[in-house]
Amino acid sequence: MLRQRIILGISVLLTGWYFFALPVSADRFKVGDKEIDPNINFDGLLVDSIVIENRNIYNTGEKRYNNFIFKTANKLHFVTRAGVIKRELLFQVGDPYSSELAEEIGRNLRARYVLYDAWVVPELLDDGTLLVRIVTIDQWSLLGGLTVRRDGNETNYQVGFEERNFLGYNQLITCDYFIQENDDNFFKTSLIDERFRGKPLYVNLIYSDEPTNKIRQILVSRPYYNLSQNFAFSIAYRDRGSRRDIYADNEKKAESFNSGDITSIYLGYRWGEYKKKIGLNFYYDYHYERTYDRTIFDPAYPVTFPIDTVYHQFTLGIPLENIDFIKLKRINGFSYTEDITLGESFELSYARALNPDFSHHLFEQVNLNSALAFYFKSNLVSVNLIRLVKFRRDRDLRHMSQFKVKYYNNGLSFFTLAFRGLYLSDWRVEGTSDLLLGGSNYLRGYDKYFKTGDRLNVFNLEGRFYSNLELLSAIFGGAVFADCGRTWKAGEPLRVKNYYWSVGVGLRVSFEKATKSKILRIDLALREDKKWEFSIGTGQYF
């Protein structure tokens, strides 16, 4: 079965190469609120001046936003500062204009900033030079209050706030308290600065006492801010501790607690053309982990607890990519611009772990990660294949494989068809079955730990409907869906009758002027045992 899936994956990859090579005709299109003719080429003309036009959230000149509520929101909001936006400029006054760099400026602003949209407009001056206008539209950045989530037939609450553009400097500050129905409550706070003190440094501080993932982290990095950058690095320290639960088909069989820390260093360098790269990645990780308070609730169930570990791990990776970009709508959002990465990427890495005094190696690990995405005639297809093998001398310790396909068709202005197919296997020498099938991840309507195993297969099909109904800048839509999946263990037969399914309808509410990624999702699912289950969450289900 796995061999057949790999053959299918290769076939999809080859098909993607064929379609990706087909030319796409250019036509007039809109950039923000301006119509651009792609046949006009400004490349090579000198940039005479650059104007930052940083707009507020709502255009109160429009009738629908010309009232007290939206005017007050604009007054209370700190607009992203022009000096902050200038950090993303990839050309300066006196440089030749490049449409590729202009497109990248827009992508970087949309990806890293709390903006509804951003675009670059060149304007030809009488002397043959260009005035380049960088236009941005902000989002409302302060979120908070009470949030209710219901997934996997459990209801959880979140109380707190999130400021994503502190004083207009594009800094994230969060502070939340989580109330859980079936677990201990916990507190989480974080601080993220994309460019610390205006420098090309990313800083991420996290504190969380979540029962299953306690963490204190400080991370400082210089990521790849643009496609012309060759060097990147990161340094991170994580003090962590958690509770590890062992489930078997919705029943908790055992639990253990662990504590430890990880120190990580990453160095990356890449060569090549603008959108075609070959790179070299180096990682060093120091791992320390201690397991304690082991508890077995079912003595008849075979349980293997993690052992205490201390080791150094060195990893060398070679990434390759041949990418392009496209701007689409109605993929995961409603009416805002979504930047989609197309093309091919591939990375092969080898890791070796050594004991504390470096006298002998503990294990080796090989990772393969490849991806392909293409868009053709309103069809977006992405394919991802991951393979991991962990071994020690002649003994296998872990085999993990993942094959995932996503498909979207957004050819109609009021409807998008979305599909996900996933196969995942994770065999470990200790015999644990850590893959979970339930309502909070793959199968709506079922409990969080409904089924467990070391193999998982899931299919999700969703029809997403978009309406013109808008109330106080909230846009309403709907969905119909069907989910199907199962888990099993190595050696068990794979039969169609053993798959579980659910079907249902849902309501979607998009608050794009406040947050693009956190679509309100409300679903009513009918399980195969004829039970109806209600769920509420944020973001698309897949």
Last residue of a domain, one of 185, 211, 237: 211
DSSP string, 267-323: EEEEEESSSEEEEEEEEEEEEEEEEEEEEES-TTS---PPPPEEEEEEEEEEEEEEE
When computed from its CA atoms, the radius of gyration of the chain, rounded to whole angstroms, is 25
DSSP symbol at 71: H
Are 116 and 195 in the same domain?
no
* Residue 20 pLDDT exceeds 50: no
What confidence score (pLDDT) does residue 24 get?
Answer: 33
DSSP string, 439-494: TTTT-TTS-TTSEEESEEEEEEEEEEEEEEEEETTEEEEEEEEEEEEEEE-TTS--
Does residue 126 form part of some domain?
A: yes
Q: For position 130, which CATH number holds?
A: 3.10.20.310
DSSP symbol at 198: G
**What's the pLDDT band for 19 if we cut at 50, 70, 90?**
very low
Arithmetic mean of pLDDT, 367-396 = 96
- Which residues are 193's β-sheet partners? 171, 203
Does residue 482 form part of some domain?
A: no
Residue 231: count other Cβ atoms within 10 Å of its Cβ: 10
Please, what is the Cα angle at 487 between 478 and 493, to 5 degrees?
130
pLDDT tens-digit series, residues 114-157 = 999 999 999 999 999 999 999 999 999 999 999 999 988 899 99
Are 98 and 159 in the same domain?
no
pLDDT tens-digit series, residues 530-539 = 999 999 999 9
Residue 123: count other Cβ atoms within 10 Å of its Cβ: 14
What confidence score (pLDDT) does residue 407 get?
Answer: 98
Are 97 and 148 in the same domain?
no
Are 105 and 157 in the same domain?
no
pLDDT tens-digit series, residues 286-340 = 999 999 999 999 998 888 888 899 999 999 999 999 999 999 999 999 999 999 9
DSSP symbol at 336: S
Does residue 158 form part of some domain?
A: yes
Higher local confidence (pLDDT), 235 or 393:
235
Gap between the Cα atoms of 105 and 89, Å rounded: 6
What confidence score (pLDDT) does residue 38 get?
Answer: 53
What confidence score (pLDDT) does residue 152 get?
Answer: 87
Are 104 and 179 in the same domain?
no
Last residue of a domain, one of 211, 245, 263: 211
Arithmetic mean of pLDDT, 185-190 = 98
Gap between the Cα atoms of 491 and 8, Å rounded: 22
Last residue of a domain, one of 108, 138, 168: 138
What confidence score (pLDDT) does residue 387 get?
Answer: 98
Show the domain range for 56.
41-138
Are 117 and 57 in the same domain?
yes
Cβ–Cβ < 8 Å for 445, 534: no
Mean pLDDT across the chain, nearest whole number?
91
Gap between the Cα atoms of 223 and 232, Å rounded: 5
Are 124 and 156 in the same domain?
no
* Number of domains present in the structure of the chain: 2
Are 89 and 74 in the same domain?
yes
Are 145 and 131 in the same domain?
no
Most confident of 70-79, 242-251, 295-304, 513-522: 70-79
Does residue 536 form part of some domain?
A: no
